[in-house]
Amino acid sequence: MKRHISSVLAIAVALSAWCIEPVGTPSQTAGLKGDLMAATLSADDDNDKDKKHDDDNHDDLKNLKKFYHNLEGYGRLGYSIGGTAPLGIPAEIRKLNKFILQPNVSFGIDGIKPVSKNWGILVGIHFENKAMHIDATVKNYHIKFTQGGQTLEGMFTGHNDSHAVQWMFTIPIQATYKISNKWRLKFGPYFSYLTSANFDGFAYDGYLREGDPTGAKVFLGHTDEERGNYDFKDDIRRCQWGMGVGVDYFFTRRFGVYADLNWGLSGFFKGSFKTLDQTLFPIYGTIGIAYKIK
Amino acid sequence: MRIFNHNIVAIVALAALAITTTSCFKDEPLNAECDIEKAWIHADNLNEMFYSATDTLVTVFSTDTKIVFTMRDDADITAIAPQFTITDGATITPANGSVQDFSKGPVTYTVTSQDGKWSRHYTVECNRLARFTTEVWNFDFEHFELDPLYHQFYVWHNTLPDGSLGDDWATGNLGFRLSKSFAKANEFPTVVLEQGYDGHGVLLTTRETGPLGMSQGMPIASGNMFLGKFNVAMALRETLKATEFGIPFEQKPVRLSGYYQYHPGDMFIDKNFNEIPGRIDAGDIYSVLYLNHDEEGNPTVLYGDNVLSSDLIVAVARVNDIKETNGEWIYFDVEFEYKSDIDIDLLASRGYNLTLVFSSSIKGASFEGAIGSQLKVDKVRLTCETKE
């Protein structure tokens, strides 16, 4: 188990090397990397202060080369569809009127270290957007309009237009199972850090009961000034995690397609955020093309 | 063949994922609201009970907790069966249409929501009103309290000629509250003036509504007070429809007098919160008498967008040029200018509405004015023609 953890870390190191280097043919890349490592280490040799240290380095290099030998690398480019939504649609949400596709690109690289004939460990780094734009009909739905620190809160019945943007770096750490040369299944957690995020929207063509269902009834209209706007940007959690499952299918030795499902297990908003009665989880599916770099 | 099997496995796995991500919509939740929306009394002997057919129906706003039927002073109210339109699925006790004795005072009705979680109490009363033949109506602003719903801003009661208190004064304070829900009583546009011309007066101030009001295209709220009702339901959608001007009035008004002070705010701004240099704010005081039915006989009320322009207007009395008064009380006395003759029979059957309006910014209805403009009003008198 310990060995596997160190493998994971080693893959992460190797991946970061890919990030800064141009992609050549696999053998070139490997050779180049080996030369670079050697060059770095021989620079250490010049100092020549501790022979044992050199030996260790030499062993490390050997180990790294050995480790590197059967390490597989993949580039991915995909598109995600999904939502940042409560688990199980609450009864207050009556109907989904619109689901507008968003520029949810996902790209990144994965390294897979085989640990047995079929099993492997995948670590990657992806940059992706998990955006969402929906229009739903709601009934007696708790809502809070905010503007510059002022709020208007209550129960809304009518149309609700929500828009979320989440640009993030994601690190998947997955177990892989190779069914055949073409098919591979993947399963494991992922961790994300959001570099920019937004969640805003407006309620329109309906009415608000201010406070609770017995409060003042206030109609909201259709135009910008007649509707109720909200923006919960400041309440979004920066770090997310969840579980991912996926499948890769390679139709040639290098080119393949993949489908992933990433199921958020951390709430989209901070724990202190109480405006929405339900916790929202980002749940997105990604399909795309994969290229085997090595 | 083995690969084919693996394909099946993968496809099944993907399908399973797809299914788990697709949630189903649940059954519609039961209604949580519990309003009386309308109340009416069916009377076979209508003319013995009411002065006009319009009085048999009361439209109830969401912020109302009191429903008043105005009836003839000699009406028999010992066995009245009011009927109600309530929220779908809600229940009401006493039963809808049950006979009640209103001679013992108001009857409290409780409406419970369909989901059983919410309830509201309403008092229903039959107010037997004598016909007033008073020459001078006094408006002194001495009767006020915090609003019954939120206990947050002031509401006023007018004194009727028989000495009883009416609920005819309305303000936009309820609308202001939507943008500044934590404002204190004295931070609202319409507040009590502790030292009026004589006793208390009313102080109207044009206020900034802040970011929330700005986003709704209402950067300012002028202080206003009027005879009529404020319908908060329209405050965000069609704001000018929130001010329902006028109450049924059975006398012919001839002049309007009283005292005011005015001080315009420093910076005049438009609807988009842009400063208009050189423009100076002005106050507004006027009274309008209008026909409360259209040509087809449908009940009509005038709103913020037509209270001074509607074809239904019969007479207007307006104080001109309310400018800086440098802290002095100014006496005003203006006559009603009649555009058409008044129909005495129609007047007697409550076919006319009268409103009286005070505003700290003359263009306040279109959200133009100067923040801080102040109009103080006191000791207003409405003189009516008396039958000789």
Domain boundary residue, one of B129, B164, B196:
B129
Q: Residue B8 has what pLDDT?
A: 53
B239: in domain: yes
- Asked if the structure places residue B234 within a domain, the reply is yes
Q: CB distance from B233 to chain A under 8 Å?
A: yes
Residues A17-27 pLDDT 10s: 443 333 333 44
- What pTM did the predictor assign? 0.81
Report yes or no: B96 and B87 within 8 Å, Cβ to Cβ. Answer: no
Helix (H) or strand (E) holding B143: strand B143-146
C-alpha distance from A148 to closest chain B C-alpha (Å): 5
- Mean pLDDT to the nearest integer, A131-137: 94
Q: In CATH, what number is assigned to the domain containing residue B73? A: 2.60.40.2340
Confidence of residue B5 (pLDDT cuts 50, 70, 90): low
Q: Is A34 exposed, middle or buried (0-12, 13-18, 19+ CB in 10 A)?
A: middle
Q: Is B33 on the interface with A (CB under 8 A)?
A: yes
Percent of chain A that is helix, strand, coil (3-state, to 5): 20, 55, 25
Cβ neighbours of B86 in A, within 8 Å: none
Nearest CA in chain B to A87: B23
Calpha distance B120→B37 (Å, rounded) = 12
Question: Is residue B13 a part of any domain in this protein?
Answer: no
Residue B314 sits in the same domain as residue B250: yes
In a domain, B194, yes or no: yes
The ipTM of this complex is: 0.88
Residue A287 has pLDDT above 80, yes or no: yes
Please state the domain count of chain B: 2
Mutation site, A219, A247, A260, interface B, largest B CB count within 10 A:
A219
B149 touches chain A (CB under 8 A): yes
* Mutation target among A93, A97, A152 for the B interface, most CBs of B within 10 A: A152
Q: Average the pLDDT over each of A57-61, A186-190, B74-78 and give the range with the smallest value.
A: A57-61
Assess B216–A contact: CB distance below 8 Å, yes or no: yes
Residue at a domain's end among B108, B129, B150: B129
Same domain, B43 and B111: yes
The verdict on B136 and B109 lying in the same domain is no
Angle among Cα B79, B85, B86 to the nearest 5 degrees reads: 115
Write out chain A residues lying below 8 Å of B119, CB-based. Answer: 214
pLDDT, one tens digit per residue, over B176-199 is 999 888 899 999 999 999 999 999
Tell me how many helices (H) and strands (E) chain B has. 5, 28
pLDDT at A176 over 50: yes
Same domain (yes/no): B212, B121? no
Q: Tell me which residues of chain B, numbers 353 to 382, contact chain A at a CB-CB cutoff of 8 Å.
A: none
State whether B214 and B87 are in the same domain. no
Tokens of A168: 């993030």
The whole-angstrom separation of Cα A136 and Cα A98 is 7
Q: Give the closest of A91, A210, A215 to B29, CB-based.
A: A91
> Does residue A234 or residue B361 have the better pLDDT?
B361
Mean pLDDT, residues B158-183 taken together: 92
Please report the DSSP string for B69-97 in residue order. EEEETT---SSB-EEEEESTT-EEESPTT
Across the interface, do B25 and A89 touch by the CB < 8 Å criterion? yes
Amino acid symbol at B386: T
- Residues B121, B136: one domain? no
Per-residue pLDDT band at A185 (split at 50, 70, 90): very high
**Given pLDDT bands bounded at 50, 70 and 90, which one contains residue A240?**
very high
- Tokens 């002022």 correspond to what residue? A150
Which of B3, B17, B237 lies at the smallest CB-CB distance from A226?
A: B237
* b/e per residue A186-213 (b: at least 16 CB within 10 A): bbbebebebeebebebbbbebbbbbeeb
Pairing of strands B66-72, B119-129: parallel
Q: Which of B1, B7, B237 to mutate to test the interface with A (most CBs of A within 10 A)?
A: B237
Does residue B287 share a domain with residue B245?
Answer: yes
B309 and B259, same structural domain? yes
Is the model's pLDDT at B24 over the cut of 80? Answer: no
For residues A6-19, give the mean pLDDT: 45
Closest CA to A283 of A82, A11, A30: A82
pLDDT category of residue B301 using cuts at 50, 70 and 90: very high
CA B154 – CA B144 distance, rounded (Å):
6
Tell me the per-residue pLDDT of A48-103, one tens digit each, with 9 for 90 and over. Answer: 555 556 666 677 777 777 777 889 999 999 999 988 888 888 889 999 999 999 99
Both B124 and B237 in a single domain?
A: no
Top-confidence range, B19-23, B132-136, B359-363 = B359-363
Structural domain contains residue B33: yes
Nearest to A211 by CA among B86, B235, B118: B118
CATH number for position B297: 2.60.120.890
Contacts of A187 in chain B (CB under 8 A): none
Does B3 contact A at CB distance below 8 Å? yes
Same domain, B208 and B193: yes
Residues of A in contact with B3 (CB under 8 A): 180, 182-183
Contacts of A178 in chain B (CB under 8 A): none
**Structure-model confidence comparison of residues B332 and A273, the more confident one:** B332
pLDDT in tens, B251-272: 999 999 999 999 999 999 998 8
Question: Is B365 a domain residue?
Answer: yes
pLDDT number for residue B207: 95
pLDDT, one tens digit per residue, over B130-141 is 888 889 999 999
CB contact under 8 A, B118 and A213: yes
Q: Does B4 map to a domain?
A: no
From B285, B268, B277, select the one nearest B367 (Cα to Cα): B268
State the pLDDT at residue A272: 87
**Closest CA of chain B from A223, distance in Å:** 9
Read off the pLDDT band of A119 (50, 70, 90): very high
Which of A86-95, A123-132, B25-34 has the largest mean confidence?
A123-132
Among B129, B144, B179, the domain-final residue is: B129
- What integer pLDDT is reported at residue A177 of this predicted model? 96
Give the rounded percent of residues in chain B with a pLDDT score beyond 70.
94
Which of B87, B20, B27 has the alpha carbon at shortest distance from A92? B27
Whether B202 and B307 share a structural domain: yes
Looking at beta carbons, which residues of chain A come within 8 Å of B10?
179, 183, 185, 247, 249
Tell me: the pLDDT tens digits for B30-72? Answer: 999 999 999 999 988 888 999 988 899 999 999 999 999 999 9
For residue A285, the model assigns a pLDDT of 94
B17 part of a folded domain = no
The parent domain of residue B36 ranges over: 29-129
* CB contact (8 A) between residue B236 and residue A226: yes
Q: What rounded mean pLDDT belongs to chain B?
A: 91
Residues facing B256 on adjacent strands: B334, B382
What is the pLDDT, as a whole number, of residue A55? 63
For chain A, domain boundaries: 1-69, 71-292
Q: Domain A71-292 has what CATH class?
A: mainly beta
DSSP assignments along B291-341, one per residue: ESB-TT--B--B-TTTTTT-TTEEEEEEEEEE---TT--EEEEEEPEESS-
Closest chain A CA to residue B23: A88
Mean pLDDT of A171-175: 97
Please tell me whether residues B35 and B147 are part of one structural domain. Answer: no
pLDDT at residue number A53: 61
